[in-house]
């Protein structure tokens, strides 16, 4: 009977380990889906996953280093490596060379950051994203004369002009700890307080008539999706096997007098 009890304990641990592995690979599949959605977005950033073991318990019947139980855990981080720059010929497209971000004002007044520079003018002559979020200059939203035919130009350092009239300077922001940025979707981020280390950009240049591609490759992500699905199926089989064994053990214990 003691043997059956120990076998049941070990199978219970294996069941939890398989369930944790299934949860980790499910998160991996969710992350890949997000990366595929980000792939067409200018300046989109992909997420990456890493797996590790965390201690979940100790077997009182075992002494030494093998007494600890571990279960798999998944952690995700954002990859901020730059994407490729593509010439568009559109004077309202802008790309960044360097680690900086364009600064946006959301409808609720909060600040967001993006690498996506496909901008346009709204009815009030303000520079906005396709979603209508204001693109910020160093002194506030950038505003142009919508009735003027003078071209809009931006220098490499972010000075914005309409014809010969200087409108302002783009507010470009760099972060000492970009991993403390929270992804909002559509290539936009918010800073989680001062820990992100926002500062005025000093190592970033603007390229007019270009857009930065996302750093996610659909081909690579689809390959990863196949691997994640196979791992999930394997963990599912292990979980079912351990569940069947546990049911058998319980049945045998119930028949032990």
The domain total for the chain is 2
What pLDDT shows up at residue 21?
79
The reply to whether 21 and 55 lie within a common domain is yes
Residue 102 in contact with residue 133, Cβ under 8 Å?
Answer: no
Dist. CA 152–CA 143, nearest whole Å: 11
Q: Given this model, what pLDDT does residue 7 score?
A: 46
User: Is the same domain home to 14 and 59?
Assistant: yes
90 and 198, same domain (yes or no): yes
pTM: 0.77
Tokens of 226: 């196949």
Taking the C-alpha atoms of residue 115 and residue 103, their distance in angstroms, rounded to an integer, is: 9
Supply the range of the domain harboring residue 227.
2-79+216-254
- Clarify whether residues 108 and 142 are in a common domain: yes
Q: Both 18 and 39 in a single domain?
A: yes
Would you call 27 exposed, middle or buried from its count of C-beta atoms within 10 A (0-12, 13-18, 19+)?
A: middle
Same domain, yes or no, for 200 and 148?
yes
The residues, any chain, with a CB within 8 Å of residue 5's CB and separated by 6 or more, are 253
- Do 44 and 14 fall within a single domain? yes
Per-residue model confidence (pLDDT) at position 60 = 57
Block means of pLDDT (10 residues each) for the chain, 257 residues, are: 43 69 85 90 90 64 58 83 95 96 96 96 95 95 91 96 96 94 89 85 96 92 86 80 73 63
> Are 33 and 111 contained in the same domain?
no
CB 125 within 8 A of CB 148: no
Q: Is there a single domain that holds both residue 64 and residue 138?
A: no
Residue 162 and residue 197 share a domain: yes
Query: Could you tell me if 139 and 208 lie in one domain?
Result: yes
Euclidean distance between CA atoms 223 and 229, whole angstroms: 10
What pLDDT, on a 0 to 100 scale, did the predictor assign at position 66?
Answer: 57
Same-domain status, 118 and 152: yes
The number of C-alpha atoms within 13 Å of 48 and in the hemisphere containing its C-beta is 11
């Amino acid at each position: 009977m003691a043997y059956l009890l120990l076998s049941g304990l070990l199978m219970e641990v294996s069941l939890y380990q398989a369930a944790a592995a299934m949860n980790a690979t499910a998160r991996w599949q969710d992350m890949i889906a997000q990366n595929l959605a980000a792939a067409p977005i200018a300046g989109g950033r992909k997420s990456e996953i890493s797996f590790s073991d965390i201690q979940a318990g100790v077997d009182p019947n075992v002494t030494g280093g093998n007494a600890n139980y571990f279960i798999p855990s998944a952690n995700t981080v954002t990859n901020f490596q730059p994407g490729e720059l593509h010439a568009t010929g559109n004077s309202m497209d802008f790309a960044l060379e360097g680690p900086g971000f364009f600064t946006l004002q959301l409808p609720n007044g909060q600040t967001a950051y993006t690498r996506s520079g496909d901008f346009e003018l709204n009815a009030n002559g303000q520079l906005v994203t396709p979603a209508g979020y204001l693109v910020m200059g160093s002194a506030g939203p950038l505003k142009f004369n919508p009735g003027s035919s003078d071209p809009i130009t931006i220098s490499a350092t972010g000075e914005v002009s309409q014809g010969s009239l200087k409108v302002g300077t783009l507010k470009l922001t760099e972060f000492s700890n970009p991993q403390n940025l929270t992804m909002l979707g559509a290539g936009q981020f918010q800073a989680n307080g001062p820990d992100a280390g926002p500062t005025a950009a000093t190592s970033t240049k603007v390229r007019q008539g270009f857009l930065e591609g996302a750093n996610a490759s659909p081909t690579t992500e689809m390959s990863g999706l196949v691997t994640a699905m196979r791992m999930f199926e394997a963990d599912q089989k292990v979980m079912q096997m351990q569940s069947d064994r546990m049911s058998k053990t319980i049945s045998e214990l119930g028949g032990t007098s």
